Amino acid sequence: MESARSAKHWVTTFNLYSAPGGEAPTLNGVTAAFDMTRDQLAEALGDEPAYRTDQVWRQLWERGTWPEAMTDLPRQLREQLAKVITPALREVARSESRDKTVKWLWELPDGARIETVLMIYPGRATVCVSSQAGCAMACSFCATGQSGFTRHLTTGEIVEQVVAARAAAAPRRLGNVVFMGMGEPLANYDRTWGAVERIHDHLGISARHITVSTVGVVAGIRRLAQEDLPVNLAVSLHAARDELRNRIVPLNRRYPLSVLMGACSEYAAAKNRRLSFEWALIDGVNDTAQDAAELAELALPLGAHVNVIPLNPTPGYLGRGTPPDGVRAFCGYLMAHGVNATVRANRGTDIDAACGQLAANAGGRRPRTDAGLAIPAAAREALGEPVSRPGRKGATLK
Ligand code: SAH
């Protein structure tokens, strides 16, 4: 009985956190379990003995156990907790490719959809998480960019993807987390960084096994350089001259290459971490010897590692991936000029889990052209710049 009373108190307290001005972020009144801090959990457990906080916290974070399966709690408390500590991710579909890559399509409490990809290698596993539902950056060749922006994810929604992937990877250790799923992590800076801290502090994954990938949000890279945890930084470059990059990565019109390289160099100096450049090789667009020479000129002074991947085809973009001979020639050129380069294996292609193919919100997909003078309004809005737009679709974070 006592625990039932406490659980009632718990529910009341919990609702306080959902109120405007409360600490835990809420989405349409729902708090993701992994958004709660330990103190919030302790306070919310109210009259329950102090050890309960530890008990619930550890099961949630260390084992990914949800309240209904916390069999060491009194049944009534468990049932009450199950009403409020609920998963933010509902599995809509899960597919497994021939190379054991697992892709989930999740639905969030407000109906937004995101994807997570788990890549399994001998003895270890890497999860690729989404940081936003959709993306406002509008890179022409990227499926998520083609589908547009829905909303930012909360910290807890990002963390829960890692917790789910860790369970699926067992008995292999989930060793690496890469922010290379849907969305632009640095356009959702605070929640992304909150997730990095929680993944590090509570899931025990070290900073050097966490990689934040950005299309080049310079303001975000500069903030990242001030943080304590030295995560790896990957920059999706794809073009090493402004004229071309303006066309395929519209954000370049806001942060041209000279500014972006300045921020990269600041990051490398501050963190002493390996910087990498991502380069999706597009047949006849960015795969010539001249492109390789321009890339080498940017990569060498920064000691950047280049990850080359032949473009994965997406419905809204006409370009195709460079054929294998061209990929070899491009990498050969880079290496002959002293640049560290690897060709990234294209995993999960048979289940559309490969880079840039994540497009869970495909409903809004529209073909894009590379033309245009300004960066898209949605991208400016996502970066916190004022934009006048009639009405907005989708949920907002309160
Ligand atoms: N917004 C972040 C992270 C998400 S995209 C960023 O841009 O880095 C993860 C990587 O996949 C990026 O390097 C992106 O440029 C790349 N990518 C997107 N579409 C692709 C495609 N069709 N083929 C190959 N790589 C792609």
**Domains of the chain by residue range:** 2-81, 90-382
Q: Which residues line ligand 1 (CB under 6 A)?
A: 139, 141-142, 180, 184, 213-215, 236, 278, 280, 309, 311-312, 314, 355-356
Of 54, 80, 53, 82, the C-alpha closest to 69 is 82
Give, for 279, the enclosing helix (H) or strand (E): strand 275-281
Atom number of ligand 1 nearest to Cα 135: 1
Distance from Cα 109 to the centre of ligand 1, integer Å:
26
d(CA 218, CA 140): 20
Give me the architecture of the 2-81 domain, per CATH.
Answer: Orthogonal Bundle (1.10)
Q: What is the pLDDT along the chain (398 residues), one digit of tens a residue?
A: 334 434 333 333 333 233 333 444 454 444 678 998 888 888 778 789 999 999 999 999 999 999 999 999 999 899 888 887 889 999 999 999 988 899 999 999 899 999 999 999 988 999 999 999 999 999 999 999 999 999 999 999 999 999 999 999 999 999 999 999 999 999 999 999 999 999 999 999 999 999 999 999 999 999 999 999 999 999 999 999 999 999 999 999 999 999 999 999 999 999 988 899 999 999 999 999 999 999 999 999 999 999 999 999 998 999 999 999 999 999 999 999 999 999 987 777 777 777 777 876 544 444 444 444 455 666 666 666 665 544 433 333 33
Domain 90-382 has CATH 3.20.20.70: yes
d(CA 23, CA 40): 8
List 79, 91, 115, 385, catalytic entry: 115
Angle between helix axes 218-226 and 257-271 (nearest 10 degrees) is 10
Burial of 284 (0-12, 13-18, 19+ CB in 10 A): exposed
List 160, 297, 355, 381, catalytic entry: 355
- Looking at residue 369, its amino acid is T
Distance from Cα 120 to the centre of ligand 1, integer Å:
20
Tally the C-alpha atoms within 13 A of residue 203's C-alpha that lie toward its C-beta.
30
pTM for this structure? Answer: 0.87
355 is an active site residue: yes
